[in-house]
Amino acid sequence: MHLDLSDTGLTEDMILEIIKGVKYSQNLIGLHLSGNPGLSLAVEAKIMSRIDATYERPFKLNSF
């Protein structure tokens, strides 16, 4: 299952709240967050420290 939240205007606080919820998902394969104003390298680091995941980053963060 993929959750595509790209270009939805999410702020940093919103993204971090979403991560709290998806952290426990057993079925999530991809979380797409590119194009959101709250997505920065600092938020990316917070996300990666909170979940056990890998991601692809060809040009910008786009999935977990």
CA–CA distance, 44 with 38 (Å, rounded to integer): 10
What pLDDT is stored for residue 55 in this prediction?
A: 60
Angle at 14 between CA 20 and CA 48, to 5 degrees: 50
pTM of the model: 0.75
Closest CA to 6 of 50, 49, 42, 59: 59
Does position 1 have pLDDT exceeding 70, yes or no? yes
For residues 63 and 31, is the Cβ–Cβ distance under 8 A? Answer: yes
Does position 61 have pLDDT exceeding 60, yes or no? no
Backbone φ and ψ for 20, nearest 5 degrees, come out as -60, -40
In tens, the pLDDT along 4-35 reads 999 999 999 999 999 888 878 888 888 889 99
